[in-house]
């Protein structure tokens, strides 16, 4: 059974710091891995999608990597800003419809 | 595209009442999902559709829950009768396979 773990559960950092969020999964047979952010009271916003054949994706200050063999993905946020404060979730896509979500990392960037 | 559109954003109702949540997926997406999010259980998949056909409803908690997708641009999730334990945020999401999963803003349901 696929399990997805995110560590740490919560993180508080000063503005400007570079940071890494971790996502681990137990079964390497995946379609894609997707990172989302969720602001309080809002839906999940897609940040990056990494297909199983890819190693990383970049969008602005965000970079996500994928290592299927070790069952790990990291989301790197450069020069963090207070507006980055949110909960970040990773989701592993196992098949056409099956997404398994991590429990998220709650990030707070202090001004 | 406007993204996945859900309504209502908030619903407060009394136990025993019928609740209908609505969703318009992104045009061209042939998969539609209904999720429920609570603090205790996180995100749970309730049901998903492919080309308007329900494929897997094993996540629907009880017979009180039903979902329909009469056409490619509209889906409903109905709870009848509602109970306080149904209080949660209900999300609709869609994607074109393979591809990114996109979520709506959610419908926050409170059953008193």
B106: which chain A residues are within 8 Å (Cβ-Cβ)?
42-43
Structure tokens at A104: 């998220």
- Mutation target among B101, B109, B110 for the A interface, most CBs of A within 10 A: B101
Q: How far apart are CA A31 and CA B99, in angstroms?
A: 10
Neighbour-count burial of A36, counting CB atoms closer than 10 A to its CB (0-12 exposed, 13-18 middle, 19+ buried): buried
Q: Are B4 and B25 in contact (CB under 8 A)?
A: yes
Percent of chain A surpassing pLDDT 90: 82
Is the pLDDT confidence value at B20 over 70? yes
Is the pLDDT confidence value at B1 over 70? no
Average pLDDT over residues B64-79: 97
- Give one word for A83, left, alpha or beta, with left for phi > 0 and alpha for psi -120 to 50: alpha
Average pLDDT over residues A22-38: 93
**Residue B39 contacts by C-beta under 8 Å, 6 or more apart in sequence?**
none
Structure tokens at B77: 């999730």
Q: Which residue in chain A is spatially nearest to B90 when comparing CA positions?
A: A43
| Higher-pLDDT residue of A30, A107 | A107
Is the pLDDT confidence value at A20 over 80? yes
Per-residue H/E/C for B59-78 = CCCCCCEEEEEEECCEEEEE
Give the DSSP per-residue string, B10-64.
Answer: EEEE-TT--EEEEEEPPTT--EEEEEEEETTTEEEEEEEEETTEEEE-TT--STT
Of A23-32, B63-72, B86-95, B103-112, least confident by mean pLDDT is: A23-32
Q: What is the pLDDT of residue B93?
A: 97
Q: How far apart are CA A1 and CA B42, in angstroms?
A: 17
Is the pLDDT confidence value at A27 over 90? no
User: Strand B102-103 relative to strand B88-95: parallel, antiparallel, unpaired?
Assistant: antiparallel
Structure tokens at B88: 């949660």
- Mutation target among B95, B96, B110 for the A interface, most CBs of A within 10 A: B95
Of A32-36, B12-16, B99-103, least confident by mean pLDDT is: B99-103
Q: What is the pLDDT of residue A45?
A: 96
Residue B48, chain A, CB below 8 Å: the answer is: yes
Q: Which tens digit of pLDDT belongs to each residue from B34-50?
A: 999 998 888 999 999 99
Residue A33, chain B, CB below 8 Å: the answer is: no
Alpha carbon distances (Å) from B98 to A107, B29, B59, B95:
29, 10, 22, 8
Average pLDDT over residues A86-102: 90
Is the pLDDT confidence value at B66 over 70? yes
């Amino acid at each position: 059974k696929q399990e997805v773990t995110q560590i740490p559960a919560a993180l508080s950092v000063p503005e400007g710091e570079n940071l890494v969020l971790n996502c681990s999964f137990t079964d390497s047979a995946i379609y894609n891995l997707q990172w989302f952010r969720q602001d309080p009271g809002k839906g999940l916003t897609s940040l990056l999608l990494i297909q199983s054949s890819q190693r990383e994706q970049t969008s602005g200050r965000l970079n996500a990597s994928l290592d299927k063999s070790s069952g790990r993905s990291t989301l790197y946020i450069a020069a963090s800003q207070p507006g980055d404060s949110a909960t970040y979730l990773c989701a592993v896509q196992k098949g056409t419809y099956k997404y398994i979500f991590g429990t998220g990392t709650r990030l707070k960037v202090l001004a | 595209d406007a993204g996945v559109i859900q309504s209502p954003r908030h619903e407060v109702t009394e136990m025993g009442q019928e609740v209908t949540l609505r969703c318009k997926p992104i045009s061209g997406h042939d998969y539609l999902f209904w999720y429920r999010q609570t603090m205790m259980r996180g995100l749970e998949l309730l049901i998903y559709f492919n080309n308007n056909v329900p494929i897997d409803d094993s996540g629907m908690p009880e017979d009180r829950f039903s979902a329909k997708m009469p056409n490619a641009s509209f889906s409903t999730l109905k709870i009848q009768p509602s109970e306080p334990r149904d209080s949660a945020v209900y999300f609709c999401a869609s994607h074109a396979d393979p591809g990114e999963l996109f979520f709506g803003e959610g419908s926050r349901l409170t059953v008193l």
